[in-house]
Structure 1
C-alpha cells in the first residue's frame, strides 16, 4: 500500500511539473518558411509600397525588416506575428535615397537569437533630389502578437514624452522611456512598440517641461494590442485595438498542421521572388540581436518611438525589440516548479523515515 501511495504521489508531482513547463512554452508556429513575392528582384519601386511574402518559423517572437545598401543595414519595420502569403510591411520609399537595396528579413526567436534571410535586390527610384524627412505611413503592419501583449506608445505632442510603466504583480515588465516629439510637418506620430508579459500595468506619461502629466492603468492580455497616445499636458488615451486586417490570402492564422496553411508555401517553392540562390541562403547568428532599429510610434504601452527609417526601435521589455534580451517568465516558472517538487519529495522522505523508525 505504501509503495502504491508513493507511486501515485510521484505521478501527481510529474503532472505538476509538466504543467509548469507547459505554461512557459511559447506558441509554436509552423516550419521555417521565408520568401518574398513583392518587390521582385531588380524591380524599380517608388512612393509607398507593400512588401508581400511569408515569414514563419518555430519559437517565433518577431521579425525585423532591413534595407541593405553596401555594408549598411537600415531598419525598416518590425512585425510581431507570422505571415504566410500576406502583407509583410508597408514602406514609404521616399524617405530613402534612390538606389539599389537588398531586403533582409531577420527572424528573431524568443531567446533573441536570430537568422537573417537575404531577399531580393530592388531599386528605389523617386527622383526627388533628396529623401523626405518623414514617412506618410507607419512602417510595418500591426498584427496581434504571438508572444505576450503588444503595447504601442505614440507621442502626438510637440515635446519629448517621458513614459514609465510598472506592475503590482510579480515577474512582469517595467521601466521607463522617452518618445521624441511629433514634428509639425509630419503626418505620423513617433511611437515605440513594447512586448509585455501579460499583467496589470500602471504608470505616468508627461511631456518635457509640462507641469501636469497623465496617468494610466490597464490589464495587458496575451495576444492583444494596446495603444497609448499622448497629445500633451495630461491628455493620455489608452485603448485596446484590433490591429490591421490581414490579406484574404494570408493563411498564418490556420493551425500549424492544416495543409491549407502550407499551400502558399508549396506554390511559392518553385520560383519565389527574390534574390539569387546564393543571396537567398540565410545567414545565421548564434548571438542575440545586435542591429537596432527605431520604429514608428502608435499605441499603448511602453516603447518610445523615434521613427526615422534610419534608426531602429529601442526596447526595454521582457521581449526585446531592440535586441536586448530581458528576462522572460519561463525560468521563474521552472525554478518555482522545481522548488515545489523538491520540497514535497523532501517531506515525503522525512515522513517515511519517521514511519520506519516507529
Structure 2
C-alpha cells in the first residue's frame, strides 16, 4: 500500500564552497528553533576546485553535571552519560541529530563536523557518584552519540569514564559501533569479571558498500563483528543491536546479521525499526535521493507502513517497535531467528551491590 507522506522532504542545496568526504548529510538545514534560515545559492562563480574540504571541529563544554536522567518506558535505564555532543560517524539515520538544534546548530553537517567534548566528564562523574544518598543503577554510555567516535582517540574521555565506573564498582551499559572500544578491553574485562558491564554493538548491515554510504565514518561491518568476537573472548557479555533496521533497504538481511553476530560470540540481540524524528526525516530522504534514487520512494513508503502512514511516530513504545502488519512480520522474523540461534532477549542483570565510593588520596580507611 502506498502512503501519502505529509512531511516536506526538500532540503536547501549543498554549500558549493564545501567539499565533502565521507559525510552522511550533504546539506546544513537550519535548526528547528532558529527564527531565520540562510541558504547559499550557487551564483556561477563558485568553482569546484576552490571549494575547501569540510573538516571536523571540536569545541569544549564545561557542564555542571554529566549524568542525565530519563523516565522513558522505552529504554532499560534511567540515567546516562555522553562525553561528546555530535558524532563524526555521520550515520544519516541517527535519531540524536536533532539535539544539535538546542545548540543553535544544524542536524545536518553541523552534527557530524561541529563536535563538542566535555573534558571534565570523568571528574564530574566521580563527584556525582560520591554524593551522599546516591543510589546505584546501570549508567548507559553511548545513548545519544557514540563514545568511541574518532575523536575519542585524542580526548580519551570514554576511557576516563570507564576508569571512574571501575573504581566505584558501578554497573555500566555500553553501546558503540566504534573500533576504539578494543583499546579498552582491559577495563571492560575487569568490569565483566565483577558482573558490572554489558556491551551492545550496533550492526546495521553486512553490505560494505551500503555501510560506507549509510555510516560513512563508522567501522565496517567486518570490524564490528571483530569487536564482538574479541570482546566475547575477553569474557565481556555482548548484545548485538540490529538497529536501526531500515524497511525496504536492510530488512532482508536481518537473519544474516543475527547469524554472523551469534557466530562472533553475541549472547543476546535487539532489533529496532528505523525512526526518523524531526529533522532526520528530510535528511534521510535527501540521502536516499542521492544514493538510491530508484529505490527512494519504495523505501520511504516501506518506512511509513511501520508508522501509520507517517515517517515518524513519537509515541512511547510504538516508536521503538512500529505497528501494523509489516512491523509484526519483522518482529516475528526476529523472534524466530533469535530462538533458532539461542540469542537471548536480554543479558542477565548487572550487580548493583558492589558499589562503593573509593577512598580519596590521604583519606583514612575505616577499621570495620
TM range (shorter): under 0.3
Between structures 1 and 2, the one with greater helix share? 2
Q: Which of the two has higher C-alpha Rg?
A: 1
Name the TM-score, length of structure 2 as normaliser.
0.24
Name the TM-score, length of structure 1 as normaliser.
0.25
